[in-house]
A and B are shown apart, each in its own frame.
Chain A
Amino acid sequence: MTGQPAGDVAVKVDGVHKAFRLPKEQVHTLKERVLHPLRRQRFETLHALRDVSFEVRAGEVFGIVGRNGSGKSTLMKCLAGIYQSDGGEMWLRGRMAPFIELGVGFNPDLTAHDNVLINAVMLGLSPDEARKRYSSILDFAELHDFAELKLKNYSSGMQVRLAFSVMVHVDADLLLIDEVLAVGDAAFQQKCYDVLNRLRDEGKTILLVTHDMSQVQRFCDRALLLERGELQAIGDCETVSRRYTQVNFAVPEYTGEDGEAEIEEGEEGEDAQVVEVWAQDGVGQRGAAIIQGASNALMMRVFFRRGARDPVFSFWLSDEKHRRVLAVTSEHDVGPSGVFKPGEQVIAGASFDNWLAPGRYAVTAQVSYRGTGDRIMALAEDAGSMIVTGARPGGGIVDLPHAFFVQKLDSKHPAAQAVEPAAG
């Protein structure tokens, strides 16, 4: 199936391969080169994509799912013309706009007007087209009153609104979206979904990269699953979702030294492995958005390679600004956790009522040997995510249950007399 794709195909990927050469020791200066001219640089080859083939029909919303490091972003960047693929062919039909990140090219020292112009031109409009759409872009972002303000004086929410508005106005036939929707508060995410639905109705082809299966099921017509750079499954969302669960929640086989390097982001521990990390709501629904104030739980599944007595399980949550907002360990709450043999699997969880501010949080899970906690058995950094939605974003890190009251003091009240201004 090489060559031009059939008439209704918008994206055709045929046998695409991509490898990265990672230097084992980074040589960054000439001096090191000069001092060690004979030392050949050693490289590790990392196969980010292996022989990936698929087709997306025009007008489809297509999900690309996989864990961190499965190659989904690499695939996106190859399609977007950012990376050069090492083999295979890719065909596109229609104007393509990549949304790897919102607000590419934004400069904090320039006004909204200038930033809209750069961003839109980066995404494929001509400066003239961008100028013509400027007013409509500001309208959509509801930022007309702030047009002459420098971007650095915008709140982060305003910046995201502006960036998203540009993205909507680029008018591409083919959109590559890489987890852009994961930013912003619940109201903004809703707006994103509305827009995506409208774009779908307009017949745009959308490729959505995500590790969030609930997003795929909500949105996509079809999806594919990548795992370690290989296409694991392709088809309707249910099938892919089932396969995703199988692949990710399978018992890892311990085979000793692995021959080939894989992209694993901190998921490989020494003596144990955190197989999966997730957040669930009060009824055990994984990955669901947690309504503020509702009960929820952080969960991890751990596979022990070596035995351990009373290991300590911990979770911590960090917000989008990488501030650690919550840390809990089994040591304080459970005490001795028991004896675990090699090959055993454990589910550990911490449930709590969620009073965090609306937003997205990264979940880190760790298992360490009993004691000070610095002998780590397994660590999975930012391996899961949790989205909290709420109606009243207060601007704080948490929004604890509270009662607010306002009371008028009558003038005879001693407290009122005490604060009476002297001049009055």
Chain B
Amino acid sequence: MSTVPTPPPALAYRVRGPSAGGDNPRRFWNLARTLAATDWKVRFYDSVLGYVWTLLRPLLLFGIVYFVFTYVVKAGAGVEFYGVMLLLGMIFHFFFAEVTAGGVTSMVDRESLLRKVGFPRAVVPLSVALVAAMNLVLNLVVLAVFVVGSGVSARWEWLLLPIPLALLLAFSTGLAMLLSALYVPYRDVRPIWEVVLQALFYATPILYPIELLAAHSPTLAKIALMNPVAALIQESRHLLVGAPSLTEALGSTVLVAAPLAIGIGMTVLGFSVFDRMAPRAAEEL
């Protein structure tokens, strides 16, 4: 460091106060990835297997569910590539659950940062989504191995898989932002969301193929597919192993617009609610 006085920069800028996104995308990204990287590190400190747990935990759970639903309950009996479809459903749902459940408390968890430094507020829920996304990528590698091992033949539709993944990421993040903003004044959001997630795990065709529900009640199957996550799982299963597409499962092209609209609507709502809360976040925590 020199002791030569540095001349002040020519242009002054106006302090706009805190906001969700800030006006410097580079700083936003730097903050989000630094927070995510530390979260990732902290999570596996002091565990011998470290990162392996990220993979092992869902895989063990998958193993149990696969055994129970193939040999005991026989929900997957006779369904082609049931294992692949089950694993895909679980990975999608776990990602969704990780982003939203982590998102709920994220603003409150980061209170000390929010009250001491001015930075774009959306960094906080976004860093949660980033950590979950790293997890998701690792899990998808496992899924890929499993797909090859199960003897699924390559399909050109695989190239389209990034689309539902991107939509899942956007929807989960939007919802996480909504929940994190609501949690600041209303602490009930957390227990409510825990129950909702539990319910969604069963209401989403994860453990069972959608045909099983449709055979039971076609209306219920349609309602289940209104859930954007369920719709994305269904469409991804179609792209991956040729399960019925979302259009086929819903029985009409028009109906596909419903989960899409719900998903986009919730995402936009999440962003806008968060955007309105962001300037006052520090004082209301």
Contact = CB atoms under 8 A, between A and B. Distances in A.
Interface of A: 4-5, 7-10, 12, 20, 28-31, 33, 58-59, 77-85, 89-94, 98, 100-101, 104-105, 107, 109-110, 114, 117-118, 121-124, 126-127, 171, 173, 198, 201-205
A5 B12 contact: yes
Contact of B119 (A101, A110, A122, A171): A122
Interface in B9-23: 9-18
Contacts of A12: 12
A29 B188 CA distance: 6
A277 B18 CA distance: 36
A202 B1 contact: yes
21 contacts: A8-B8, A10-B8, A28-B185, A58-B8, A78-B15, A81-B17, A81-B18, A83-B282, A93-B13, A100-B117, A101-B116, A107-B38, A109-B42, A114-B41, A118-B34, A121-B30, A127-B33, A127-B34, A201-B5, A202-B2, A202-B6
Given A20-B283, A83-B282, A104-B116, A110 B34 contact: no
Nearest to B11: A93
A81 B283 CA distance: 12
A81 B16 contact: yes
Nearest to A90: B15
Nearest to A198: B3
Given A94-B8, A117-B34, A203-B5, A82 B282 contact: yes
Given A81-B18, A90-B15, A202-B1, A118 B38 contact: yes
Interface residues of B, number: 46
B13 A92 contact: yes
Contact of B26 (A4, A117, A126, A204): A126
Closest 10 CB pairs of A and B: A81-B118, A203-B5, A84-B17, A90-B15, A84-B279, A58-B8, A93-B12, A121-B34, A30-B188, A91-B12
A79 B15 contact: yes
Contacts of B8: 8, 10, 58-59, 93-94, 173, 203, 205
B112 to A, nearest CB: 7
Contacts of B34: 117-118, 121, 127
A74 to B, nearest CB: 9
Contacts of A59: 5, 8
Interface string B195-209: 000000000000000
A100 B9 contact: no
A114 B16 CA distance: 30
Contacts of B185: 28
